[in-house]
Amino acid sequence: MKTTDIIRRAGRNLRRAKMRTLLTSIAIAVGGFAIMASLMAGEGARQYIDRLISSNIDAKAVFVVKDKRLIGAQSGQQADLREYNPDSINRYGNDYKALTQKDIDKLAARTDLEKVRPVYQLQPKYVSFAAKKDKKYSSDVSVFDGALAAEVVAGKQLGKGTELAAGEAVIPESHAETLGQSPAQMVGKQLTVTVVQTPQKIDEATLGQVFAEKGQAGVNELINGKELHKTFTIAAVTRKSADQTQAMRGIGINAKVARELSDYSTKGTSQYQKYMSATAVAKQDAEAAKKSLEHDGYAAATAKDLQQTLFRFVDILQAIVLCFGALALIVSIFGIVNTQYISVLERTQQIGLMKALGASRRDIGRLFRYEAAWVGLLGGALGVLGAWGAGVALNPVISEKLHFGDHKLLVFVPEHAAAVVAGLMLVAIIAGWLPSRKAAKLDPIEALRTE
């Protein structure tokens, strides 16, 4: 028998048992749906991550630290008893090797890096706004990153590469809402950041001298610490865009002013001019700069490292969903085997007649395997179409809820769909192997005698 004739005959046989064929195909479709949905979600997540990385991080950006634990290059719990390191910095109860001003100068002098900037850990005492003169607020204050294109609600446009002037500040839309003002009302108004200089250790002789010169007010200033008030004009109000990983949570200011505030608040302490990390831009290849930094005793991470970390997280989630799809397929395999065995028993006489008329064992085996392939094709098509339909229906809802903008989380890739259908057909053929083998081995005379 010709292969095309066997394929057509297999299709006709399945049409005679429509309900059984449909139910078996649906069992396969469940697994196919789960697999296709996970592939769509994985593709969408990867595209979204690519978009975030390209929009938020310069491809040549390099994140530099002294302590490898900060970027996951080294793990392990911190020992209870550690050798004292004068160049360490304490954060969240842990001691980390810190970058000193000497390190920053050394990085700035490198020929493979430019725009070296330490990450200032500003801890203002309070922030006050001209819009609410009678109140003081707590807020994060950090350097405004001009490498990112911020979505401006009101005020000065802040494209990539924009740097704030020394007296300018940027606030998030949430700050305006808390103050009961519209973004447009906040633009042009002033805010004041207050930082405190940590009180110094003072001996009795110094206290006596200060008291004699300035009185009790001078002594209080020494004991309680001096305050520095920096006033800024709000240049813009921003909000999170679909291409940003997160909204700006605090106030953004100029880098030089941030350094001034940081140096003032830590002067005379062990934390003076010590930084957990620094950012830089590679002049040529970021990966080459990273390797060179590691050779010199630093730890570094690039945009590619961040991308790979996020991809690894997506891969883990995708693998979990694929496991559920695989379980559904395993169940459907038993369904195919059972259905095919029943079909062999019901068509014993037909098989005997075909053999008596000259059909070979090979033709009989192929007939049942092709029937299984048809079931796999139908189930795969149903699963893939179901996943595509779910994507069309859910993408607008997901984009709205997660503020993805025009980005789709469930991305349908035709090549993936074809691979899923082909894979399910192969699984179905393998599942139908034993029943087809039984059918091929039937004795034609005994088969014709069966009632």
141 backbone dihedrals φ, ψ, rounded to 5°: -130, 125
Determine which of 188-192, 345-349, 358-362 has the lowest per-residue pLDDT on average: 345-349
108 alpha carbon, distance to own chain's centre:
31
- Interhelix angle 433-441/303-346, nearest 10 degrees: 30
The better pLDDT of the pair 326, 388 is held by 388
Edge to edge, what strands does the sheet with 277-282 contain?
Answer: 113-118, 277-282, 61-65, 299-302
Q: What pLDDT does 338 receive? A: 77
Q: Is the pLDDT of residue 80 over 70?
A: no
SS3 146: coil
Nearest to 52 by CA among 239, 314, 237, 241: 241
Q: Where are the domains of the chain?
A: 3-54+309-449, 61-117+278-284, 120-275
Q: What pLDDT does 444 receive? A: 61
Q: What pLDDT does 23 receive? A: 83
Please state, for a pLDDT cut of 90, what percent of the chain lies above it. Answer: 23
The structure tokens 């053929």 sit at 429
Give the Å distances, CA to CA, from 384 to 74, 218, 372.
Answer: 43, 77, 18
Mean pLDDT of the chain: 81
Q: Which whole number is the average pLDDT over 276-297?
A: 89
How would residue 189 be classed by pLDDT, with cut points 50, 70 and 90? very high
80 backbone dihedrals φ, ψ, rounded to 5°: -65, -35
How would residue 334 be classed by pLDDT, with cut points 50, 70 and 90? confident
Distance between CA atoms of residues 121 and 142, nearest Å: 8
The H-assigned helical ranges of 347-451 are 348-356, 361-401, 414-431, 433-441, 444-449
Please state, for a pLDDT cut of 70, what percent of the chain lies above it. Answer: 80
Contact residues for 182 (Cβ-Cβ < 8 A; gap 6+): 154, 176
pTM of the model: 0.66
Distance between CA atoms of residues 376 and 27, nearest Å: 10
Q: What is the pLDDT of residues 31-72, one digit of tens each?
A: 899 999 999 998 988 888 888 777 777 778 888 998 888 776
